[in-house]
Amino acid sequence: MPAITFVVAGRLDARTGGSLYNRRMAESLARQGWVVDVQELGDGFPFPTTDALRRASDRMARIPSGSQVLVDGLAFGAMPEIVASVSARLELIALVHLPLAASVGLDPWVAGRLAVSEHRALSYAALVVVTGASTVSLMAAYGLSHDRVVVVEPGTHPAPLARGSQSADVQLLTVATLNPGKGHEILLEALATVPYSDWRLTCAGSLMRHPETADNVRATISRLGLEARVALVGEFDESELAACYDRSDVMVQASLRETYGMAVAEALARGLPVVATATGSIAALLGDDAGVVVPPGDRPALSDALSRMIGDAAFRARCARGARHVRNHLLDWDAAATQLAAALSA
């Protein structure tokens, strides 16, 4: 019976895209007969305190020699000394959602320090699993040959078709933690120039992980006079988020950087049309018919796309039909886990 120790930063049940990927993969591998031992390192990564590193070192030291260990990249790249100390007795696989130094909004000095740390840690990895094809090119800077990097994109859960708002206003939904990379302020600026007022935006995502961004978004809403049309609802659990998708008409995403675009895939799984930026695998997911893709950071292009989606009901319906077609071809989590299992076995 195959076995894997899965070391995750933070908690496996955290409501982030990376944690959702980790949790779904652990569940699907277990369904496929793998023995999955999840080790949670706690919060603080990728900027761990001395105590956090001590706890991580203790956890890694207790893993039996010869074990295959899949380590979330948030922790892997932030603890090179620990990785080096166990590399001779454990088979280490790094799971990189996004290189640490590639996060949007980092101070250049901090990004440089993270790049050095991650470069050293990755040198001890037998394999690096990345969660989006766009990340492969970023890994070249870490001296990794192509045969040491494998892409395993996320799956989606089968979901019922969204029923929509059934209201006079077009209900827009964006699902993302409020942080510098998700483009909430650009989205709001774009919406403020849309020549229609019959829309409402719900922003579902944590307001606590990056408080400065949340404050900036609130200030932008106030400055643009959008208080009556924009709702910051915070972090939802799965059932609440499913209900939110169900009562929405359009998914919107203004991210500056994604590795894949899990929220967009979840919207497509419900047949929702999408307006989003060309980051990660979003353009490939949407194809030609399920929505509109614009360059990241291009506010005028985003405003034009939103105007068309909000103001043209026939176009919106056509994109919804395209989304329903895409829905039938999305990879589910068990299929994604089969790909991961094949990479681990190889």
Q: What tens digit of pLDDT does each residue of 297-346 get?
A: 999 999 999 999 999 999 999 999 999 999 999 999 999 999 999 999 98
**Eight-state DSSP code of residue 247:** T
Residues 127, 226, single domain; the answer is no
For 111-131, b/e burial (b = at least 16 CB within 10 A) is beebbebbbebbebbebbbbb
CATH code of the domain containing 94: 3.40.50.2000
The SS3 assignment for 208 reads coil
pLDDT, tens digit, for every residue of 124-169? 999 999 999 989 888 888 888 888 899 999 999 889 999 999 999 9
Residue 36 has pLDDT above 90, yes or no: yes
Tell whether 161 is covered by a domain: no
Tell whether 164 is covered by a domain: no
Distance between CA 127 and CA 135 in Å, rounded?
14
Residues 107, 42, single domain; the answer is yes
Domain span at 276: 170-327
pLDDT, tens digit, for every residue of 240-275? 999 999 999 999 999 999 999 999 999 999 999 999
Nearest to 121 by CA among 48, 29, 64: 48
What stretch of H or E contains 293? strand 291-294
Residues 113, 254, single domain; the answer is no
Tell whether 186 is covered by a domain: yes
Domains contained in the chain, number:
2
Residue 282's alpha-carbon distances to 169, 170, 295, in angstroms, are 26, 22, 11
Cβ-Cβ contacts under 8 Å for 58 (sequence gap 6 or more): none
Contact by Cβ (8 Å): 299, 275: no
Output the pLDDT for position 97: 94
Range of weakest confidence among 5-19, 171-185, 293-307, 321-335: 5-19
The SS3 assignment for 311 reads helix
Residue percentage of the chain with pLDDT more than 70: 100
The SS3 assignment for 233 reads strand
